[in-house]
Amino acid sequence: MTKVLVATEKPFAAEAVDQIKQIIEEAGFEFTTLEKYTQNEQLLEAVKDADAMIIRSDKASKEVLDAAKNLIIIVRAGAGYDNIDLEAATANGVVAMNTPGQNSNAVAELALGMMIFQARNQFNGKSGTELRCKKLGIHAYGNVGKYVATMAKGLGMDVYAFDPFVKAEAIEADGVKVVHSVEELYSTCQYISLHIPANEKTKKSINYQLLNLMPKGATLVNTARKEVIDEIDLLKLFADRSDFMYLSDIAPDCKTEIEKSFEGRFFFTPKKMGAQTAEANINAGVAAAKQIVGFIKEGNTQFKVNK
Ligand code: 3PG
Protein backbone atom coordinates (compact mmCIF):
# COMPACT_ATOMS: atom_id res chain seq x y z
CA MET A 1 0.00 0.00 0.00
CA THR A 2 1.25 3.52 -0.83
CA LYS A 3 2.62 5.00 2.39
CA VAL A 4 2.46 8.75 3.04
CA LEU A 5 4.61 10.13 5.83
CA VAL A 6 4.03 13.51 7.48
CA ALA A 7 7.40 14.38 9.02
CA THR A 8 7.20 17.58 11.02
CA GLU A 9 9.67 18.53 13.73
CA LYS A 10 7.29 21.47 14.39
CA PRO A 11 3.88 19.76 14.18
CA PHE A 12 0.82 21.05 12.35
CA ALA A 13 -2.28 21.91 14.40
CA ALA A 14 -4.19 18.70 15.28
CA GLU A 15 -7.09 19.76 13.04
CA ALA A 16 -4.76 20.01 10.06
CA VAL A 17 -3.33 16.53 10.73
CA ASP A 18 -6.87 15.10 10.89
CA GLN A 19 -7.75 16.61 7.53
CA ILE A 20 -4.51 15.45 5.90
CA LYS A 21 -5.12 11.93 7.25
CA GLN A 22 -8.65 11.90 5.86
CA ILE A 23 -7.50 12.91 2.35
CA ILE A 24 -4.70 10.32 2.34
CA GLU A 25 -6.91 7.50 3.63
CA GLU A 26 -9.80 8.33 1.31
CA ALA A 27 -7.34 7.98 -1.56
CA GLY A 28 -6.63 4.43 -0.31
CA PHE A 29 -3.14 5.25 0.99
CA GLU A 30 -1.58 4.54 4.37
CA PHE A 31 -1.06 7.55 6.63
CA THR A 32 1.79 7.85 9.12
CA THR A 33 3.43 10.67 11.09
CA LEU A 34 6.72 11.52 12.72
CA GLU A 35 6.22 14.61 14.87
CA LYS A 36 8.51 16.56 17.21
CA TYR A 37 11.50 14.41 16.37
CA THR A 38 14.79 15.53 17.87
CA GLN A 39 17.37 13.46 15.96
CA ASN A 40 18.02 13.17 12.24
CA GLU A 41 18.29 9.39 12.80
CA GLN A 42 14.57 9.29 13.62
CA LEU A 43 13.81 10.94 10.28
CA LEU A 44 16.17 8.58 8.44
CA GLU A 45 14.36 5.62 9.98
CA ALA A 46 10.86 6.98 9.29
CA VAL A 47 11.48 7.73 5.60
CA LYS A 48 12.81 4.23 4.83
CA ASP A 49 9.51 2.85 3.52
CA ALA A 50 7.67 6.09 2.65
CA ASP A 51 6.42 6.49 -0.92
CA ALA A 52 5.37 10.10 -0.40
CA MET A 53 6.12 12.65 2.25
CA ILE A 54 4.96 16.00 3.58
CA ILE A 55 7.39 18.26 5.43
CA ARG A 56 7.58 21.84 6.74
CA SER A 57 11.00 23.40 7.41
CA ASP A 58 12.33 19.87 8.00
CA LYS A 59 15.63 19.23 6.24
CA ALA A 60 15.25 16.94 3.25
CA SER A 61 19.00 16.53 2.79
CA LYS A 62 20.70 14.17 0.33
CA GLU A 63 21.15 11.75 3.24
CA VAL A 64 17.41 11.79 3.98
CA LEU A 65 16.46 11.46 0.31
CA ASP A 66 18.93 8.60 -0.19
CA ALA A 67 17.49 6.80 2.86
CA ALA A 68 13.98 7.16 1.39
CA LYS A 69 14.41 4.35 -1.12
CA ASN A 70 10.74 4.18 -2.18
CA LEU A 71 10.07 7.92 -2.27
CA ILE A 72 8.50 9.35 -5.43
CA ILE A 73 7.20 12.69 -4.15
CA ILE A 74 8.03 15.14 -1.37
CA VAL A 75 5.84 18.17 -0.70
CA ARG A 76 6.99 21.10 1.38
CA ALA A 77 3.76 22.34 3.00
CA GLY A 78 4.73 25.98 2.67
CA ALA A 79 6.41 28.43 0.35
CA GLY A 80 10.20 28.26 0.77
CA TYR A 81 11.82 25.02 -0.36
CA ASP A 82 15.42 25.89 0.50
CA ASN A 83 15.28 22.98 2.98
CA ILE A 84 15.04 20.40 0.17
CA ASP A 85 18.16 19.26 -1.65
CA LEU A 86 16.60 19.62 -5.09
CA GLU A 87 19.58 18.12 -6.93
CA ALA A 88 19.41 14.99 -4.78
CA ALA A 89 15.64 14.81 -5.29
CA THR A 90 16.04 15.00 -9.07
CA ALA A 91 18.91 12.50 -9.06
CA ASN A 92 16.73 10.07 -7.08
CA GLY A 93 13.73 10.58 -9.37
CA VAL A 94 11.74 12.29 -6.63
CA VAL A 95 9.29 15.05 -7.53
CA ALA A 96 9.57 18.00 -5.11
CA MET A 97 6.70 20.47 -4.70
CA ASN A 98 5.71 23.40 -2.51
CA THR A 99 2.28 24.84 -1.72
CA PRO A 100 2.66 28.54 -2.64
CA GLY A 101 0.29 31.06 -1.08
CA GLN A 102 -1.30 28.66 1.41
CA ASN A 103 0.28 30.09 4.56
CA SER A 104 0.97 33.63 3.32
CA ASN A 105 -1.72 35.43 5.28
CA ALA A 106 -0.40 34.05 8.56
CA VAL A 107 3.15 35.17 7.76
CA ALA A 108 1.92 38.64 6.78
CA GLU A 109 -0.05 38.99 10.03
CA LEU A 110 3.11 38.15 11.99
CA ALA A 111 5.11 40.80 10.07
CA LEU A 112 2.51 43.47 10.87
CA GLY A 113 2.14 42.21 14.45
CA MET A 114 5.88 42.54 15.08
CA MET A 115 5.86 46.06 13.58
CA ILE A 116 3.09 47.25 15.92
CA PHE A 117 4.76 45.50 18.88
CA GLN A 118 8.05 47.33 18.24
CA ALA A 119 6.46 50.70 17.42
CA ARG A 120 4.79 50.50 20.87
CA ASN A 121 8.10 49.71 22.62
CA GLN A 122 7.18 46.06 22.98
CA PHE A 123 4.18 47.10 25.12
CA ASN A 124 6.41 48.21 28.00
CA GLY A 125 4.17 51.10 29.01
CA LYS A 126 6.30 53.89 27.51
CA SER A 127 5.03 56.22 24.77
CA GLY A 128 5.64 54.73 21.32
CA THR A 129 4.90 55.64 17.70
CA GLU A 130 2.22 54.78 15.14
CA LEU A 131 2.51 53.05 11.79
CA ARG A 132 0.03 55.38 10.07
CA CYS A 133 1.67 57.57 7.39
CA LYS A 134 5.03 55.78 7.80
CA LYS A 135 6.72 54.45 4.67
CA LEU A 136 6.87 50.67 4.34
CA GLY A 137 9.04 49.01 1.69
CA ILE A 138 8.14 45.51 0.59
CA HIS A 139 11.21 43.68 -0.63
CA ALA A 140 9.78 41.11 -3.07
CA TYR A 141 6.13 41.27 -3.97
CA GLY A 142 5.05 37.62 -3.84
CA ASN A 143 2.12 36.11 -1.94
CA VAL A 144 3.27 37.29 1.49
CA GLY A 145 4.38 40.72 0.27
CA LYS A 146 0.99 41.29 -1.30
CA TYR A 147 -0.85 40.45 1.94
CA VAL A 148 1.51 42.69 3.94
CA ALA A 149 0.78 45.54 1.50
CA THR A 150 -2.99 45.16 1.87
CA MET A 151 -2.80 45.06 5.68
CA ALA A 152 -0.36 47.98 5.87
CA LYS A 153 -2.55 50.09 3.63
CA GLY A 154 -5.42 49.33 6.00
CA LEU A 155 -3.30 50.85 8.76
CA GLY A 156 -2.74 53.97 6.65
CA MET A 157 0.89 53.23 5.79
CA ASP A 158 2.50 54.56 2.62
CA VAL A 159 3.50 51.34 0.84
CA TYR A 160 6.34 50.86 -1.68
CA ALA A 161 7.60 47.66 -3.32
CA PHE A 162 10.56 46.39 -5.27
CA ASP A 163 10.31 43.19 -7.27
CA PRO A 164 11.98 42.83 -10.67
CA PHE A 165 9.95 39.65 -11.33
CA VAL A 166 6.50 41.23 -10.95
CA LYS A 167 5.03 43.64 -13.50
CA ALA A 168 4.85 47.23 -12.22
CA GLU A 169 1.20 47.49 -13.30
CA ALA A 170 0.25 44.50 -11.12
CA ILE A 171 1.84 46.13 -8.06
CA GLU A 172 0.37 49.55 -8.82
CA ALA A 173 -3.09 47.99 -9.21
CA ASP A 174 -2.89 47.23 -5.46
CA GLY A 175 -2.27 50.91 -4.69
CA VAL A 176 1.41 50.23 -3.98
CA LYS A 177 4.18 52.50 -5.32
CA VAL A 178 6.81 50.77 -7.43
CA VAL A 179 10.49 51.59 -7.03
CA HIS A 180 13.11 50.45 -9.51
CA SER A 181 16.02 49.38 -7.35
CA VAL A 182 16.64 47.93 -3.89
CA GLU A 183 18.67 51.02 -3.07
CA GLU A 184 15.68 53.23 -3.83
CA LEU A 185 13.45 51.04 -1.64
CA TYR A 186 15.80 51.12 1.35
CA SER A 187 16.56 54.85 1.10
CA THR A 188 12.85 55.68 0.87
CA CYS A 189 11.38 53.53 3.62
CA GLN A 190 11.71 53.59 7.41
CA TYR A 191 10.19 50.10 7.56
CA ILE A 192 11.36 47.28 5.30
CA SER A 193 9.59 43.92 5.20
CA LEU A 194 11.66 41.13 3.65
CA HIS A 195 10.05 38.50 1.43
CA ILE A 196 12.93 37.22 -0.69
CA PRO A 197 13.71 33.49 -0.81
CA ALA A 198 17.04 32.14 0.45
CA ASN A 199 19.17 31.05 -2.48
CA GLU A 200 22.74 31.44 -3.71
CA LYS A 201 21.99 34.95 -5.01
CA THR A 202 20.15 36.27 -1.97
CA LYS A 203 22.10 34.76 0.94
CA LYS A 204 23.85 37.59 2.90
CA SER A 205 22.55 40.10 0.34
CA ILE A 206 21.00 42.33 3.01
CA ASN A 207 24.18 44.07 4.03
CA TYR A 208 25.45 47.20 5.76
CA GLN A 209 25.54 49.29 2.59
CA LEU A 210 21.88 48.62 1.90
CA LEU A 211 20.55 48.86 5.45
CA ASN A 212 22.46 52.05 6.16
CA LEU A 213 20.47 53.77 3.39
CA MET A 214 17.33 53.51 5.54
CA PRO A 215 16.02 56.74 7.05
CA LYS A 216 15.88 57.47 10.79
CA GLY A 217 13.93 54.92 12.82
CA ALA A 218 15.03 52.16 10.43
CA THR A 219 13.15 48.96 11.24
CA LEU A 220 13.91 45.75 9.37
CA VAL A 221 11.24 43.04 9.54
CA ASN A 222 12.36 39.58 8.49
CA THR A 223 9.75 36.87 8.06
CA ALA A 224 11.72 35.42 5.15
CA ARG A 225 14.94 33.57 6.07
CA LYS A 226 17.73 34.48 8.47
CA GLU A 227 20.31 33.43 5.85
CA VAL A 228 19.56 36.46 3.64
CA ILE A 229 21.08 38.78 6.27
CA ASP A 230 24.81 39.46 6.43
CA GLU A 231 25.12 39.11 10.20
CA ILE A 232 28.56 40.73 10.51
CA ASP A 233 27.07 43.79 8.82
CA LEU A 234 23.95 43.53 10.98
CA LEU A 235 26.01 43.78 14.17
CA LYS A 236 27.99 46.73 12.75
CA LEU A 237 24.78 48.55 11.87
CA PHE A 238 23.30 47.93 15.34
CA ALA A 239 26.49 49.44 16.80
CA ASP A 240 26.70 52.41 14.40
CA ARG A 241 23.02 53.36 14.38
CA SER A 242 21.19 53.61 17.68
CA ASP A 243 17.91 54.07 15.78
CA PHE A 244 18.15 50.70 13.96
CA MET A 245 15.75 47.92 14.96
CA TYR A 246 15.52 44.32 13.79
CA LEU A 247 12.46 42.08 14.10
CA SER A 248 12.85 38.55 12.91
CA ASP A 249 10.83 35.36 12.73
CA ILE A 250 13.60 33.17 14.13
CA ALA A 251 16.73 34.48 15.79
CA PRO A 252 19.92 35.24 13.89
CA ASP A 253 23.06 33.24 14.70
CA CYS A 254 24.47 36.38 16.38
CA LYS A 255 21.50 36.56 18.79
CA THR A 256 23.67 36.51 21.93
CA GLU A 257 25.75 39.51 20.81
CA ILE A 258 22.60 41.48 19.97
CA GLU A 259 20.96 40.59 23.29
CA LYS A 260 24.08 41.68 25.17
CA SER A 261 24.36 45.16 23.69
CA PHE A 262 21.15 46.35 22.02
CA GLU A 263 18.31 45.93 24.48
CA GLY A 264 14.85 46.99 23.33
CA ARG A 265 15.85 47.23 19.67
CA PHE A 266 15.09 43.69 18.53
CA PHE A 267 12.55 40.92 18.74
CA PHE A 268 13.11 37.32 17.69
CA THR A 269 10.52 34.57 17.78
CA PRO A 270 11.72 31.56 19.81
CA LYS A 271 10.78 29.21 16.96
CA LYS A 272 9.89 30.03 13.36
CA MET A 273 6.22 30.81 13.72
CA GLY A 274 5.05 32.92 10.77
CA ALA A 275 3.01 30.01 9.42
CA GLN A 276 2.13 28.65 12.85
CA THR A 277 -1.65 29.14 12.80
CA ALA A 278 -4.43 26.56 12.55
CA GLU A 279 -5.63 28.17 9.30
CA ALA A 280 -2.20 28.15 7.65
CA ASN A 281 -1.54 24.58 8.80
CA ILE A 282 -4.86 23.40 7.38
CA ASN A 283 -4.44 25.30 4.10
CA ALA A 284 -0.86 24.17 3.47
CA GLY A 285 -1.31 20.64 4.85
CA VAL A 286 -4.48 19.93 2.90
CA ALA A 287 -2.95 21.37 -0.29
CA ALA A 288 0.11 19.14 0.20
CA ALA A 289 -2.04 16.03 0.74
CA LYS A 290 -4.14 16.80 -2.35
CA GLN A 291 -1.01 17.39 -4.43
CA ILE A 292 0.32 13.97 -3.41
CA VAL A 293 -2.95 12.28 -4.34
CA GLY A 294 -3.12 14.25 -7.61
CA PHE A 295 0.43 13.27 -8.52
CA ILE A 296 0.14 9.58 -7.67
CA LYS A 297 -3.32 9.09 -9.19
CA GLU A 298 -3.21 11.47 -12.17
CA GLY A 299 0.44 12.42 -12.65
CA ASN A 300 -0.33 16.07 -11.89
CA THR A 301 2.96 17.94 -11.49
CA GLN A 302 1.63 21.44 -10.89
CA PHE A 303 3.80 23.12 -8.20
CA LYS A 304 6.81 20.92 -9.00
CA VAL A 305 9.95 22.89 -8.08
CA ASN A 306 12.78 20.58 -9.21
CA LYS A 307 13.85 19.71 -12.73
C1 3PG B 1 7.36 28.89 4.48
O2 3PG B 1 8.37 28.91 3.77
O3 3PG B 1 6.27 28.49 4.05
C4 3PG B 1 7.41 29.45 5.87
O5 3PG B 1 8.68 29.84 6.20
C6 3PG B 1 6.80 28.54 6.92
O7 3PG B 1 7.65 27.56 7.43
P8 3PG B 1 7.15 26.46 8.50
O9 3PG B 1 6.18 25.57 7.81
O10 3PG B 1 8.37 25.77 8.96
O11 3PG B 1 6.47 27.19 9.63
Residue of 10, 99, 272 to mutate, ligand 1, most atoms within 8 A of C-beta: 272
Residues of the chain with CATH 3.40.50.720: 3-102+277-298, 104-268
Task: Name the burial class of residue 163, with classes exposed (0-12), middle (13-18) and buried (19+) by CB atoms within 10 angstroms of its CB.
Answer: buried
Going by alpha carbons, the residue nearest to atom 3 of ligand 1 is: 78
What is the third-level CATH fold of 104-268? Rossmann fold (3.40.50)
Positive or negative, the CA dihedral 57, 59, 303, 51 is negative
Confidence of residue 147 (pLDDT cuts 50, 70, 90): very high
Q: Which atom of ligand 1 is nearest to the CA of 102?
A: 3
Q: What are 280-296's pLDDT values in tens digits?
A: 999 999 999 999 999 99
Q: Is the CB of 80 under 6 A from ligand 1?
A: yes
Residues 26-43 have a mean pLDDT of 98
Q: Give CA separation, 107 vs 104, 112, 137, 166, 195, in Å.
A: 5, 9, 16, 20, 10
The pLDDT score that the predictor gives to residue 123 is: 98
Inter-helix orientation angle 278-298/14-26, to 10°: 10
Residue of 6, 12, 57, 102 to mutate, ligand 1, most atoms within 8 A of C-beta: 57
The pLDDT score that the predictor gives to residue 159 is: 99
**Architecture in CATH for domain 3-102+277-298:** 3-Layer(aba) Sandwich (3.40)
What string of DSSP letters covers 150-187? HHHHHTT-EEEEE-TTS-HHHHHTTT-EE-SSHHHHHH
**pTM of the predicted structure, to 2 decimals:** 0.97
The pLDDT score that the predictor gives to residue 245 is: 98
The pLDDT score that the predictor gives to residue 263 is: 97
The pLDDT score that the predictor gives to residue 54 is: 99
Give dist(CA 184, CA 205) in Å, integer: 15
Residues 77-86 have a mean pLDDT of 98
Q: Which amino acid is at 246?
A: Y
Q: Report the percent of the chain where pLDDT is more than 90.
A: 100
The pLDDT score that the predictor gives to residue 170 is: 98
The pLDDT score that the predictor gives to residue 73 is: 99
